[in-house]
A and B are shown apart, each in its own frame.
Chain A
């Protein structure tokens, strides 16, 4: 069965500091991977998605970036965090077919102070 891991679970960072959130998946090969952010208003916003190693599509270009160095690893980064980057970050796994269901990881709660 497929499993999604996200690390860390919670993070408190000062404004201007760098960020690295990691998502790893098990039990599947060549998945589509997604990063979503959920701000205080509860809506989920798609940030990035990747259909393969080194392939990143950005939906909301901000001070965030994503990378996919390995087939089952997806990383969300920032060089300098802003207060507005606070939120709940969710990694999702989808199948190869574009219409496959997306399954979500446990999330990382980020607070920028």
Chain B
């Protein structure tokens, strides 16, 4: 069965600190996709990144960077020079691929609450 583990329930940092959110996954599929979503206090999930299992290149987008390591089944997310606006719950998710009736079922981790303080 697919599983996503986000062991960090809550992280508090001071603004401008770097912070890494951990994500470890389990799957038997050889082809899969990993995602990160941000959930601000408003509640809506905001898509941040998608990575397929054949692309292990790290990615950087502004202050955000992602480290995908297949050998350790991890897909970690780093925010550099954190800001108060980064305060949110962050979810890592794994694509199960196509279900029996089509569709793409995501398995989510339990999320990490990030609090960035002044």
A residues with CB within 8 A of B: 32, 34, 41-44, 46, 49-51, 55, 57, 59, 88, 90, 92, 94, 97-107, 109
Contact = CB atoms under 8 A, between A and B. Distances in A.
Q: Is the interface of B mostly helix, strand, loop or mixed?
A: strand
Contacts, number: 71
B110 interface: yes
Contacts of A57: 99-101, 103
Main secondary structure of the interface of A (DSSP, over half): strand
B110 A102 contact: no
Interface residues of B, number: 29
B33 A107 contact: no
B43 A106 contact: yes
Contacts of A99: 33, 52, 95, 97-98, 104
Contacts of B97: 98-99
Nearest to A57: B101
B103 A101 contact: no
A83 B98 CA distance: 32
B102 A32 contact: yes
Contacts of A106: 42-44
Contact of A42 (B42, B89, B101, B104): B89
Interface in B59-98: 89, 91, 95, 97-98
22 contacts: A32-B102, A32-B104, A42-B111, A43-B109, A46-B105, A50-B103, A55-B101, A59-B105, A92-B45, A94-B103, A98-B98, A98-B104, A99-B52, A102-B47, A102-B104, A104-B45, A104-B46, A105-B44, A106-B43, A106-B44, A107-B43, A107-B44
